[in-house]
Amino acid sequence: MADYTPKPEHKFTFGLWTVGNPGRDPFGEPVRQRPQPHELVHLLGEVGAYGVNFHDNDLVPIDANPTERDQILKDFRQALDATGLVVPMATTNLFADPIFKDGAFTSNDVRVRAFALQKTMQAIDLGVSLGARTYVFWGGREGTEIDASKNPVDAIKRYREAINFLTAYVIDQGYDLKFALEPKPNEPRSDIYLPTVGSLLAFITTLDHPEMVGVNPEVAHEHMAGLNFLHAVAQAWEAGKLFHIDLNDQKFARYDQDFRFGAEMIKQAFYLVKFLEDVGYTGMRHFDAHAYRTEDLEGVKDFARGCMRTYLILKDKAARFNADTEIQQLLAEINADDGSFSFLNDGFSPQAAQRLREASFDRPGLGARGLAYERLDQLTVEILLGVR
Ligand code: GCO
Ligand code: MN
Ligand code: MN
């Protein structure tokens, strides 16, 4: 029986806002008390997490005075020391306060944009002081309900100026910090700019310091748009831009459900875990999800344990898939290459083009060839269902 106990090397992290989520939704009041940050650190230590992440105001409320702030930080640091938890990532809350109701970096109001920059500089300082090496940007309010209100080209330009300003700030401070931009198609805005992993990858190439900036894809966000999350993650990875990942689950095309990892789409979760493990992703496995609204604090622990346990079970299933001789045999057949086109391996040359011109193909034969994907998929399903 495999061991599904979370260990530090698994790099499982949670946000204060995830296990601290009080279960409020647009129709209902909180169902749980929100524990203090240091209490949440102890909760995460108890369930076996590696690290804890936070928005500036998850830790220090936006209106805290300096004395309150000092006490909160002291308690938080003590809890980190006591549990051995680390802070790998931090981020800014640029969405909760009414000042951000029409955006932060993309607001039409220059005062709001400046405040958002100031708030982020301070939050970066806070995150770095607690050890963060990755800084996430999720532009939840960077969007519109009515497109008459904002020029979308201006919005992208403003977003770029903000990220450029902040990468320069990080360099100027001498911080060892990378940025991970997190796309989401909608919610809380009707439409959010830079809605998918692909659009952010393109945006990053236009920045002053693209080498400092990658992406933080989230399962639920691509699934809200009905997209294939594995493909998005693979593209980010291939571009060297998978700096962080938000794991959770949800049904396609719904609101942002933020369910426990693996709660809904086991097959997608399996291919994702298999991908991360196969390519040797060494970053954080961050669970950006929360317990159902039906749960009390014990249920929150069940939720957190479940995220990690399901990840480890799927990791075990991926190892089984990789070791399954029938599956590997099928994959070898699908990818068989007799070397007759190796002259294409180095790309274009006039000689290669000439040889290709002269090549002949059994088009009907190739088109008629069965690929045995039915068998391959059934074998995969049987691994997932535990009979293989
Ligand atoms: C959401 C987002 C956020 C971000 C978080 C960190 O849909 O609410 O996923 O949880 O990940 O703000 O930037
Ligand atoms: Mn989300
Ligand atoms: Mn997220």
100-130 pLDDT tens trace:
999 999 999 999 999 999 999 999 999 999 9
Cα(364) to ligand 1 centroid in Å equals 50
Probe ligand 1: pick from 138, 196, 285, max atoms within 8 Å of CB?
A: 138
Q: Of all protein residues, whose CA lies closest to atom 5 belonging to ligand 1?
A: 138
Atom of ligand 1 nearest to the CA of 258: 7
The full set of domain ranges for the chain reads: 8-319, 325-385
- pTM here is 0.97
Closest CA to 92 of 219, 199, 181, 187: 181
- Choosing from 10, 38, 42, 55, the catalytic residue is 55
How high is the pLDDT of residue 281? 98
pLDDT tens sequence across 43-67: 999 999 999 999 999 999 999 999 9
* Mean pLDDT computed over every residue of the chain: 98
- From residue 212, alpha-carbon distances to 86, 94, 238 in Å are 22, 21, 16
pLDDT at 1 over 80: no
Task: Specify whether 244 is catalytic.
Answer: no
Distance 288 CA to ligand 1 centre (A): 7
pLDDT at 349 over 70: yes
Place of tokens 């089984």: 320
**pLDDT in the model for residue 44:** 98
Pairing status of strand 246-247 against strand 285-287: parallel
Look-up: residue for tokens 């493990």? 277
Residues with CB under 6 Å of ligand 1 are 55, 91, 136, 138, 140, 182, 184, 218, 246, 256, 288
Q: Where are the beta strands (DSSP E) in 131-250?
A: 134-138, 143-144, 178-182, 191-192, 213-215, 246-247
Ligand located closest to 189 CA? 1
Residues 196-225 have pLDDT tens digits of 999 999 999 999 999 999 999 999 999 999
Please determine, for residue 228, whether its predicted confidence score (pLDDT) is greater than 80.
yes
CA distance 261 to 265: 9
- Tens of pLDDT, residue by residue over 61-83, are 999 999 999 999 999 999 999 99
Q: Give SS3 for 99.
A: helix
Return the ligand 1 atom nearest residue 53 CA.
6
Ligand 1 atom nearest 248 alpha carbon: 9
C-alpha separations of 36 from 139, 162, 188, 227 in Å: 26, 32, 25, 36
Q: pLDDT tens, 137-193?
A: 999 999 999 999 999 999 999 999 999 999 999 999 999 999 999 999 999 999 999
In whole angstroms, what is the distance from residue 288 CA to residue 372 CA?
Answer: 37
Is 58 a known active-site residue? yes
Instruction: Please provide the CATH number assigned to the domain covering 8-319.
Output: 3.20.20.150
Question: Shortest CA distance to 116 belongs to which of 92, 81, 83?
Answer: 92
Longest dimension (CA), the chain: 80
